[in-house]
Structure 1
Amino acid sequence: MSGRVWQVGGVAAVGGIGYYLYSAGGNPKVAEKKMEADAAKLRANMTSGMSGKGTEAQKHSEVLAADAGARLDNALKDAKQGVSKIDTKLESYRQEAEKTIEQKAHDAQVNAKHAVDSFDKNVTEAASKAKSSASGWFGGSK
């Protein structure tokens, strides 16, 4: 591939030199001056075209950068709003969980008090029956 590129490039260079020699009537000095003049003209056309294109490209890139900045700002704003909504929901869930825990703790406390009261009542009744039974053995009145 590389050898072929050199061959094509060489043929193009020889063809270019041949063109300038032919148009100069075979005089190498005149051909060289014509080639230099054409190169200068080509360079001037390229730089003048690029200076206008460069400004246009710069303006276009500034517009694209501003558009990208605006899109980024909107995306950040949307993300912040999403995070804010999530924070609000999480706070709501936390408050609900706290209320539920407090309610369950209160219910457990009430049930524990009832269980203790019931146990005390049963123990007191059993102790009273045991006392009356024991006093019957030792001749006490019922």
Structure 2
Amino acid sequence: MSNRVVMGSGMAVAGGLAYYLYQAGGDPKVAEKKFEHDAARITHSVKGDASSKGTEVKTEAKVLGQEAGSKIDSAISQAKKQTSEIDARLEAYRRDAEKNIEKYSKEANKEFNSAVNKFDKTVEDGIARAKGEVKEGEAKAKSTWGSWFGGK
């Protein structure tokens, strides 16, 4: 019989703890303040005197203060989480921008070098023709034969 009483009492206490934790949104400090408030209210209803009413009001104020603090802490935590998510996104955008800048820089350098080489070849061919040293067909033939043997 005593084993059943202990088991029943334990279950009642666990149920009460679960109830107050649930009502407090999982915050043990708020649950404790709610329990104290309920205990003061029960004491006031049993005694019916003015001093217990003051205790009840004080505990209710503590509960409200604890709930407000819990909500503020939650809001701050949420804001920090969102800030870190935004920071992570900005960092990803920065990395992408660096990659794109590097990519486009390489492409621009390649196009610039190609244009310079084409310009140099045009100038060299023009100079050779102007001097009369090489005819147009010979210049192309020389460049073809030269490319086979490592020349220009």
Please say whether Structure 1 and Structure 2 have the same fold, judged by a TM-score greater than 0.5. Answer: yes
Tell me by how many angstroms 1:54 deviates.
1.4
Moved over 3 A (4+): none
Q: Deviations over 1:64-122 (max 9, x none)?
A: 11111111111111111100100000000000000001111111111110011000000
| Structure 2 gap segments, 5+ residues each | 1-47, 134-152
| Structure 1 gap segments, 5+ residues each | 1-47, 134-142
- Give the TM-score of the pair, scaled to structure 1: 0.57
Aligned position for 1:58: 58
Q: CA RMSD in A?
A: 1.5
Aligned position for 1:72: 72
Where do residues 116-127 of structure 1 align in structure 2 (5 Å cutoff)? 116-127=116-127
Tell me whether 1:83 sits opposite 2:86 in the alignment: no
Aligned position for 1:102: 102
Provide the rounded CA distance (Å) in 2 between the counterparts of 1:119 and 1:49: 104
Aligned position for 2:23: none
Where do residues 1-142 of structure 1 align in structure 2 (5 Å cutoff)? 49-132=49-132
- Report which structure shows greater RCO (CA 8 Å, sep ≥6): 2
Provide the rounded CA distance (Å) in 2 between the counterparts of 1:126 and 1:50: 112
Larger gyration radius, structure 1 or structure 2: 1
